[in-house]
Amino acid sequence: QAWRTAAFGLYGFTQFTKSGFVEHAKKFREEDMQIRLDGKNCLVTGANSGLGYATAQGLASHGATVYMLCRNKERGETALNEIRSKTGNMNVHLEICDLSSINEVKSFATKFSSLEKPLHVLVNNAGLLEHKRTTTPEGLELNFAVNVAATYTLTELVMPLLEKAAPDARVFTVASGGMYTEPLNTNLQYSESEFDGTKQYARNKRVQVALTEWWAEKYSNKGVGFYSMHPGWADTPGVSKSLPGLSEKLSGNLRSNEEGADTVVWLALQPKEKLVPGAFYFDRAEAQKHLKFAGTASSHEQIGSIVDSIRSICSLPANP
């Protein structure tokens, strides 16, 4: 654990910061971003601020029809109007759902599916780092509910819409380099007595990366691509609220929201044959999922039993 934390710190300070982005951007190809998304339907969760907002704006600026999934109607409407006026794209819509409630996620998925529109891009961006142990009214630990349970449930329930957009459909899950510090763990709701929100967040992010691999394999013949990514350390409202220490320490060297969202937008634009199914991306390139000597790699073998647990917790029928 100590080695993982130290290696992660060193790797992060050199790569995940603004200076890391500036360095990596020297290799970016301008023509990669000149692709249009007209006629493509995109759903972005947690889209009213931070990386979700920048992602929704980026997709809208390339002509996509964007559905912004937000918890708060007022903040969502403000963001919606801003993105419409900045991009000149009126095909941006607001959907309301509290992702900490699995029942609300199910209701939203039913309602959204009734539109019967193909879904070309799903961005699982909404995330949470809550330091105090908090239990939702449905009895779930709050970080797990938003980061894992909602991500899994929403993705599974909109699969028929994604299949309508095959072979071009893709699902991006915004994970975090924090996952480098934790192996996959079957203790999904952090039953240890001393709750550590940062550790639980890292575990949640590790689940997202392993889930992406699992989905890519399970649905390999469905024409839907699954990818996870790390935005780097960006100056988002979420980071300043949840990790004020990091925010202060890296003041001036945190990425902008646009820099953090750059890879998601890039992934949405690239021809699918250029992308590696189930891979973890960082700064427009495939990245390692495990740090050297960290001992986290073999843990991914547990993902099957973890999926069974998530399905049971979310009252979804057993996996076929």
Please, what is the angle between helix 18-25 and helix 2-15, to 10°? 60
- What is the rounded CA–CA span in Å between residue 14 and residue 271? 30
* Tokens matching residue 309: 């647990």
- The helix (run of H) or strand (run of E) holding residue 201 is helix 197-218
| Catalytic residue list contains 201 | yes
Within 8 A by CB and 6+ apart from 64, the residues are 37, 38, 40, 41, 42, 89, 91, 120, 121, 268
Which of 120, 108, 90, 219 minimizes the C-alpha distance to 153?
A: 108
Give the DSSP letter of residue 33: G
Of 53, 201, 227, 281, the catalytic one is 201
CB 170 within 8 A of CB 120: yes
- The helix (run of H) or strand (run of E) holding residue 198 is helix 197-218
- What is the rounded CA–CA span in Å between residue 140 and residue 35? 41
CA angle 43–49–174, rounded 5-degree value: 55
- What is the rounded CA–CA span in Å between residue 261 and residue 314? 29
Which of 59, 45, 131 minimizes the C-alpha distance to 89?
A: 59
Q: Give the strand pairing for 65-70 and 121-124.
A: unpaired
Q: Which residues are catalytic?
A: 201
